Structure 1
Amino acid sequence: MEPMAHYFYAVKIPDETKTVMKEHMERLKRSLPFSRWVHHQDIHITLAFLGYAEQEQLVAAHKNVEIALRDEKAFPLKINKLGVFGKSDRPRVFWADAEYSPELHQLRKKVFSACEQADFNLETRPYRPHITLARKWQGEEPCHLNLLDIWHQLQPEPLPFLAKEAVLYRTNLQETPKYQVIHSYPLQT
């Protein structure tokens, strides 16, 4: 039996930035033993996680998001450091952080609200934009957070990119890469 698909809205990372991140991730894998690394084509910044969704809800969310983002403009972002979620010595999620962006938070607010109007019950924790790189520490030794300083060796200056597209992704767990674009919402450039 095929697992139920999950859906989420995200900022799509441009392909040229994904290529740079792929190279960085290959180097990071050598010193950071996480069990599951994200395929570089799947990296993104989540705006709203919908989970399983009925077709009617997806259609309503699509219409709402399309209207909400109609006049939104593209904006610059910079990936500037690494971080973890979970216990610091055995983290469950390893991520790259983007410098604070009021435009990103505004975009998220509009998408989040549009999805709530389509009757989605969304995550209520404070929004922490990030790019998930890997999951589940599997090192024999505990993780030491000073290992995350390797980012500055890989990328001495923050890695800039232009956020020019929001997308609705479908998760296909049996595929690699596993995220499929269902709808795209280009931001004005």
Structure 2
Amino acid sequence: MIRLLTGLIKPTKGEILINGIDVNKDRKGALLNLGAIVECPIFFEYMTGREILKNLVRLHPNILKEEREKRVDEVLELVDLKNRENDKVSTYSLGMKQRLGIAQALLGRPEIIILDEPANGLDPIGIKDLRDIILKLNSEFKITFLVSSHLLDELQKFSNKIIIINQGRLKFKGSLEELLSMGEGNIEEVFLQILKTKEEAL
């Protein structure tokens, strides 16, 4: 689904709209309002975090040349990497690399950010840091996050809407409250119950 949303692959039928813009007809226009980290972000290890962002900010036509340095400062601050901006990425932990990935996604001031399994491989502290950043950006800047994850307990801590897809089929779409009301309040048990019920109905 994420590859479809970002225009990396084309759907066999139907259309994909981002803020009313069809991804297949105007991919560039649709993606102007979208930031994404598809799978684990990969950076040049010999560069500093700041150097990487300075190179990437030039790719955003909505950021004027004289605003680029300021925008890099802003996103580094937002993901709490300002104190490590001049360190090489090779010295960053996995959690810091994920935060640098979010900083990269923030550069163009997107309204939507897609994260693909962002907590994979992170320790509990790294997961909490990531969650806090997502909640802050959503609360203060009204950025919508679309997060793909198999860590159901973690999703329960910051999600308000849930979509469950299994083998390419939509199994559930609704609020977190609606999902939890189907069981005993445990998102993992409800998830398994939905899959089992759908399979039995086939």
With a CA cutoff of 8 Å and minimum separation of 6, indicate the structure with the bigger relative contact order.
1
Which structure features the higher share of strand residues? Answer: 1
Shorter-chain TM-score range: under 0.3
Q: Higher Cα Rg: structure 1 or 2?
A: 2
Q: With the length of structure 1 as denominator, give the TM-score of the two structures.
A: 0.23
Which structure features the higher share of helix residues? Answer: 2
